Amino acid sequence: MFKRLYKKVEELRPLFAEGGKLHAFHSLFDGFDTFLFTPSTPAGKVGAQIHDGKDSKRTMIMVVMALVPALLFGMYNVGYQHFLATGELVRGSVTCDLFWKAFGFGFLAVLPYILVSYIVGLGIEFTVAQWKKEEIQEGFLVTGFIIPLIVPIDTPLWMVALAVAFAVIFAKEVFGGTGYNIWNVALIARVFLFFAYPTHMSGDSVFVRTSGTWGWDEGKTLVDGFSGATPLGQLATTSDATLIPVDFWTAFNGLIPGSVGETCCWAILLGACLLLTTGVASWKTMLSVFAGGAITAWLFNAFGPDTAIAHLPWYMHLVLGGFAFGAVFMATDPVTSARTETGKWIYGFLIGVVAIVVRVLNPGYPEGMMLAILLMNTCAPLIDWCVVQSNINKRMKRSQKKEVAL
């Protein structure tokens, strides 16, 4: 069967080759060709004649798979929060019917974001690959999957499309494509939305879908006293310095308002397990983000100002907001992270520190993870420079010692 498929692909190949009728779509053809069949390109004349089976496609697909639990739970949570708001569902009593109804609603609500993200992003990638006569790079498979997971569910689709286009073009392609970008592309999309359309990105009404989706469940009245504020949003606005909006296990389970993929810690943990066992993400970065966050939050607990967010127990910081999601999926992005092993410890730790500092000390932003990761993306080359410089200094000292001895 595969042989026949292969023959078919080979028959089509001349159409897309230089001078063929469909040459303008050769990057698309190449994309599908290498998707279907691992290229049989032999190794170069000199150098390693055998190669390991892993390639960029396999690494990227591992990250996508790791994101799936967070996505599925996120879909369910979108429906759950919606029906909670309309009063159709009461916390703690979910029947099987309601479960599927909530999941179905969330699925339909999230699906357009995934489609828009992939269509816009991959469209740009395909065009650029065609233009630069390069192969299509797989980086956007992950980026395009993450973007729907880190935006509020009420963001208008055109904004997402605009943000994706901005991020792919100005944060990636102008630098040269996957592997050359300085900042995490998905976060650039989010930060674009955050500063261009601030009213749609924070507040009490954006994290819960109160209207319907695809015409389903439109125009329902909301229950009395409904508030769609995220726990971190509540903490940022409250005047009660002892407020703890949710308990640890509720936050860990993730049936709370928030961006689609960020709420459920066990789903993120499942993804983390996959990333760490396959070795795609660095355990050093991941662990040090959590360590940095925990230590900083604990310091605020002990010595911080008299505000609710500073009093929030340190372990709550790690399960609320985008902290876990950022630590597992975004801080570990190898391209924008520190690239030396020592650098990864420092880089991760500082992300944790900065995220909590922004949360506690900045009155404007309830969440600090996005800014922390972007800031450390910027600093990562500096961290690497220092680490590599110590190796260089050692070598210089060694050769100077030699000169003195002579």
Partner 1 sequence: MQQIELKRGLDIPLEGEAVRTIGSVRRPKVFHIVPSHFEGITPKLNVKEGDTVLAGGVVFHDKKFEQMNFTSPVSGKVVAIVRGERRKVLSIDIESEETIRYESFDVKEDLRSLLLKSGLWCLIKQRPYDCIALPNKEPKAIFISSFDTAPLAPDYNFVLNGQSNQLQCAISALKTIAPVYVGLDKKADSSSMFKNLKDCTLYEVKGVHPAGNVSVQINHISPVNKGETVWTINVQDAVLIGRLLTEGKVDMHKIVALTGPMVREAQYYNVLPGISVKELLQGNVYSEVPCTYIAGNALSGHQVSLDDAISIYDNQYTVIDSGVETHEFMGWLLPRFSEFHSDRTDPATFLDNCMTRSLFGKKEYKWDGRLKGGLRALIMSGEYDKVFPMDIYPEQLVRAMIANNIDRMEQLGAYEVAPEDFALCEYVCTSKLPLQAIVRKALDYMKSEIE
Residue in the structure block whose two tokens are 């999926």: 329
Of the ranges 50-58, 69-77, 296-304, 322-330, which one interacts with partner 1 (CB under 8 A)? 50-58
Crossing angle (nearest 10°) for helices 185-196 and 369-405 = 130
220 sits near partner 1 (criterion: CB under 8 A)? no
Q: Which of 77, 117, 137, 263 binds partner 1 (CB under 8 A)?
A: 137
47 sits near partner 1 (criterion: CB under 8 A)? yes
131 sits near partner 1 (criterion: CB under 8 A)? no
- Separation of alpha carbons 245 and 14, rounded Å: 63
- Separation of alpha carbons 138 and 125, rounded Å: 9
50 sits near partner 1 (criterion: CB under 8 A)? yes
38 sits near partner 1 (criterion: CB under 8 A)? yes
| Least separation in angstroms between CB 286 and partner 1 | 13
45 sits near partner 1 (criterion: CB under 8 A)? yes
The pair of structure tokens assigned to 72 is 């599925």
Count the Cβ atoms, other than its own, within 10 Å of residue 1: 5
- Separation of alpha carbons 175 and 182, rounded Å: 8
> Whose Cβ is closer to partner 1: residue 66's or residue 310's?
66
303 sits near partner 1 (criterion: CB under 8 A)? no
> Whose Cβ is closer to partner 1: residue 4's or residue 91's?
4
- Separation of alpha carbons 296 and 127, rounded Å: 44
399 sits near partner 1 (criterion: CB under 8 A)? yes
> Whose Cβ is closer to partner 1: residue 137's or residue 259's?
137
59 sits near partner 1 (criterion: CB under 8 A)? yes
Residues 265-284 that bind partner 1 (CB under 8 A): 277-280, 282
Of the ranges 56-64, 67-75, 222-230, 359-367, which one interacts with partner 1 (CB under 8 A)? 56-64
HSE-up of residue 307 (Cα within 13 Å, Cβ side): 18
Encoded amino acid at 140, one letter: F
394 sits near partner 1 (criterion: CB under 8 A)? yes
301 sits near partner 1 (criterion: CB under 8 A)? no
| Least separation in angstroms between CB 382 and partner 1 | 14
Closest of 193, 124, 113 to residue 146, by C-alpha = 113
The C-alpha R_g of the chain, in whole angstroms, comes to: 24
Q: Which of 34, 237, 253, 362 binds partner 1 (CB under 8 A)?
A: 34
39 sits near partner 1 (criterion: CB under 8 A)? yes
- Separation of alpha carbons 173 and 176, rounded Å: 5
Q: Which of 18, 21, 53, 158 binds partner 1 (CB under 8 A)?
A: 53
**H or E element: which one contains 213?**
none
- Separation of alpha carbons 194 and 374, rounded Å: 13
Contact indicator for 336, 380 with CB cutoff of 8 Å? yes
- Separation of alpha carbons 392 and 390, rounded Å: 5
Total binding residues toward partner 1, as defined by CB under 8 A = 63
Residues 141-200 that bind partner 1 (CB under 8 A): 176-180
In sign, the C-alpha dihedral spanning 30, 124, 185, 359 is negative
- Separation of alpha carbons 69 and 360, rounded Å: 30
42 sits near partner 1 (criterion: CB under 8 A)? yes
List residues binding partner 1 (CB under 8 A): 2-3, 5-6, 34-59, 61-62, 135, 137, 139, 176-180, 277-280, 282, 334-335, 337-341, 344, 384, 388, 391-392, 394-396, 398-399, 402
